[in-house]
């Protein structure tokens, strides 16, 4: 959530930054509601001061043995006015809060201009896409032929965009999860195991609600929501708290993730690229504001180095304003090379949310030597999406004999197995 003071003091700057995201937000509505709220608040404060003066006058009259009934009646009338004004303030506050929840985060100044993914800026590239001496197969064909991916039985059990992983596929998934968690732990992240079901307050805290309420799975009548990413439970660990331990706080968690909206129809509906349920290892960092941009670069390297250890070609792009998400202030997408696509495909997003989530979730800390509390900055990223990593391994490590080599770094996690 944006700071109302910032909108009040720098309306044109905020409008210009939001325009960079190519979103249509009428900030005039926010300013009008804010002005109305401030006017009513001022009236309440003036009436309270008047009531205090009358109360003091009543006390003085009584000390002198004088009648104070007129002042007492006046105080009651003032009290009734205060109650009426406070009651009128509630719908104004509610409307202002509801509107602010729909306003996206502003991008940082270095975010490039642009409307779509075509305008993203490549900043880093690793590895050279492999040249094959045989016809390249897509990962869904490889997986089905090897008997490690079963889409038809998953469709029978659940529906479209689900997958059953069997034998070597299940082992590869487990190996990747353990490898990624160990990789994160070695870089100072605390491993957590969190619930997959959260309440609506948690979804509001990280910005999924109200904008993306139709994109998640709602469990009724219990009123829980299946998490779209471990970012939600990890960030909300400190909701409504003043953090007492030194920052940064660094967390990693493996969870299943659930997305009701899995993308438009097309090529990505096949295989493991867009699923309603998928596994992911997430990184979340809670940081001091002045260190958050450095923290973002560190998190980016944490995620990129997973692909480097796996020997998978990738490139990293900085998202332009028009391709950024609702709560993101700056985002890097890491895209892995998929031979069957003949292009790079997103496998991770690493973002700083600045104080956007912290304001919604009331995550505060007390800077060293200060008595006042401040909003923390939150950052998150995938390291990595497991299903897409499996797809990348199957395609990049496929062999002419139909087998698939297992990256060396994963072999200890698979009992020394070298091939699928």
Please tell me whether 244 is known to bind a ligand. Answer: no
Please tell me whether 346 is known to bind a ligand. Answer: yes
Is 408 one of the annotated active-site residues of the chain? no
Please tell me whether 116 is known to bind a ligand. Answer: no
| Strand order across the beta sheet in which 363-365 lies | 241-243, 363-365, 374-375
224-246 burial, b if ≥16 CB within 10 A, otherwise e?
bbbbbbbbbbbbbbbbeeebeee
pLDDT in tens, 247-283: 999 999 999 999 997 555 555 678 999 999 999 999 9
| Catalytic residue (one of 10, 95, 308, 346) | 346
Is 174 one of the annotated active-site residues of the chain? no
Is 259 one of the annotated active-site residues of the chain? yes
Provide the H-helix boundaries in 275-327: 292-310
Instruction: Give the CATH class of 117-414.
Output: alpha beta
Question: pTM of the predicted model, to two decimals?
Answer: 0.92
Is 55 one of the annotated active-site residues of the chain? no
Residue ranges covered by each domain of the chain: 4-100, 117-414
CATH fold label, 4-100: Helix Hairpins (1.10.287)
Strand, coil or helix: what is 232?
Answer: helix
pLDDT in tens, 299-340: 999 999 999 999 999 999 999 999 999 999 999 999 999 999
Please tell me whether 282 is known to bind a ligand. Answer: yes
pLDDT in tens, 163-176: 999 999 999 999 99
Please tell me whether 84 is known to bind a ligand. Answer: no
Is 270 one of the annotated active-site residues of the chain? no
| Catalytic residue (one of 274, 359, 360, 364) | 274
| Catalytic residue (one of 161, 259, 285, 364) | 259
Of the candidates 414, 398, 394, 403, the one whose C-alpha atom is nearest the C-alpha of residue 140 is: 394
């Amino acid at each position: 959530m944006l700071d109302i003071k910032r909108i009040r003091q720098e309306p044109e700057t905020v409008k210009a930054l939001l325009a960079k995201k190519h979103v249509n937000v009428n900030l005039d509505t926010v300013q009008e509601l804010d002005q109305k709220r401030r006017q009513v608040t001022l009236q309440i404060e003036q009436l309270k001061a008047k009531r205090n003066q009358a109360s003091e006058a009543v006390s003085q009259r009584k000390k002198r043995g004088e009648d104070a009934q007129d002042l007492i009646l006046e105080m009651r009338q003032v009290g009734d006015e205060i109650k009426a004004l406070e009651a009128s303030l509630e719908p104004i506050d509610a409307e202002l809060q509801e509107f602010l929840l729909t306003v996206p985060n502003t991008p940082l100044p270095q975010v490039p201009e642009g409307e779509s993914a075509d305008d993203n800026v490549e900043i880093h590239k690793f590895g050279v896409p492999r040249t094959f001496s045989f016809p390249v197969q897509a990962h869904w064909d490889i997986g089905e032929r090897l008997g490690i991916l079963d889409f038809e039985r998953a469709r029978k059990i659940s529906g479209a965009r689900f997958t059953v992983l069997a034998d070597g596929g299940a082992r590869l998934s487990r190996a990747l999860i353990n490898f990624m968690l160990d990789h994160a732990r070695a870089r100072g992240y605390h491993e957590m195991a969190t619930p997959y079901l959260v309440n609506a307050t948690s979804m509001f805290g990280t910005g999924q609600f109200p904008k993306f309420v139709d994109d998640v799975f709602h469990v009724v009548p219990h009123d829980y929501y299946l998490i779209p990413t471990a970012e939600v439970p990890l960030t909300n660990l400190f909701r409504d708290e003043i953090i007492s331990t030194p920052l940064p706080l660094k967390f990693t968690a493996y969870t299943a993730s659930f997305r009701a909206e899995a993308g438009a129809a097309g090529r990505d509906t096949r295989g493991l690229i867009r699923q309603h349920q998928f596994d992911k290892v997430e990184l979340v960092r809670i940081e001091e504001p002045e260190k958050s941009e450095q923290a973002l670069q560190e998190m980016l390297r944490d995620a990129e180095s997973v692909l480097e250890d796996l020997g998978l070609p990738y490139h990293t792009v900085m998202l332009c304003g028009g391709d950024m998400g609702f709560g993101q202030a700056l985002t890097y997408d890491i895209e892995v090379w998929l031979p069957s696509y003949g292009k790079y495909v997103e496998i991770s997003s690493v973002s700083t949310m600045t104080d956007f989530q912290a304001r919604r979730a009331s995550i505060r800390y007390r800077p060293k030597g200060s008595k006042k509390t401040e909003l923390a900055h939150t950052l998150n990223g995938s390291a990595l999406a497991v299903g897409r990593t499996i797809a990348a391994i199957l395609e990049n490590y496929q062999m002419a004999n139909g087998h698939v080599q297992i990256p060396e770094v994963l072999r200890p996690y698979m009992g020394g197995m070298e091939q699928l």
